[in-house]
Homo-oligomer: A and B are copies of this chain.
């Protein structure tokens, strides 16, 4: 008789439930939080409201499940970095910048962030923490691994990898994320992603690159 979501944080959902969550995400993306009504989700997913409440507890549980489900989809492989040279490091940093910008500008990501921000003023509401932990943390790890590997290869120099990574993040994203969350036209911003990534990598290497990395 497991009528409550169990193990709080690592639960997996049944295929049917995944399908429902998928539809809920689609609804959220298309119409914002306002459109995410229990009746609306039930109708869109061809399930009953009673099932929703049995599976997810209440509306908050549904939103948590949506974040959890979405996070489980976006597993970022943290590929091992061997044979790092200046060229491959620059390429890896550039790839990371592009991936980061793509993720942050994605429909679902923006919708979930807006949802979590909207709930953040309420009580507990660990949506924001969940989003950071399950979404961003994974991407962060990948970049941190890259930076540490680059330091070991003598291409980068820094004291704290976390500090260096934050600088990299700031150089890439700047105020773009908030602007997108505020509704700025994404198609316009997306055109600049290329030059944005290039400039960020260039500046980052000037800040943290060793002479070995900067040698032309």
**Which residues of A does B touch, CB under 8 Å?**
31-34, 111, 113-114, 116-118, 120-122, 125, 127-129, 131-132, 136, 163, 166-167, 169-175, 177-179, 181-184, 199, 203, 206-207
* A110 → B minimal CB distance (Å): 9
* Closest partner residue, chain B, to A118 (CB atom): B118
In the bound complex, CA of A175 to CA of B178 (Å): 9
Q: Which residues of B have CB within 8 Å of A181? A: 117, 120, 128, 178, 181
* Closest partner residue, chain B, to A200 (CB atom): B170
**Could you name 29 residue pairs across A and B whose Cβ atoms are closer than 8 Å?**
A31-B121, A32-B121, A33-B121, A111-B121, A113-B182, A114-B117, A114-B118, A114-B120, A117-B117, A117-B182, A118-B118, A120-B183, A127-B182, A128-B181, A128-B184, A129-B184, A131-B182, A132-B182, A132-B184, A136-B175, A163-B199, A167-B174, A167-B199, A169-B175, A170-B175, A173-B175, A175-B177, A178-B178, A206-B207
Out of B118, B163, B173, name the residue touching A117 (CB < 8 Å).
Answer: B118
- For the complex formed by this chain, how many copies does it contain in all? 2
Out of B125, B177, B178, name the residue touching A183 (CB < 8 Å).
Answer: B125
A132:B174 contact, CB within 8 angstroms: no
B169:A174 contact, CB within 8 angstroms: yes
A207:B199 contact, CB within 8 angstroms: no
A129:B183 contact, CB within 8 angstroms: yes
**Extra A-B contacts (11), CB below 8 Å, given A32-B120, A114-B121, A170-B171:** A34-B122, A117-B181, A120-B183, A121-B183, A125-B183, A167-B171, A170-B170, A170-B175, A177-B177, A178-B181, A203-B207
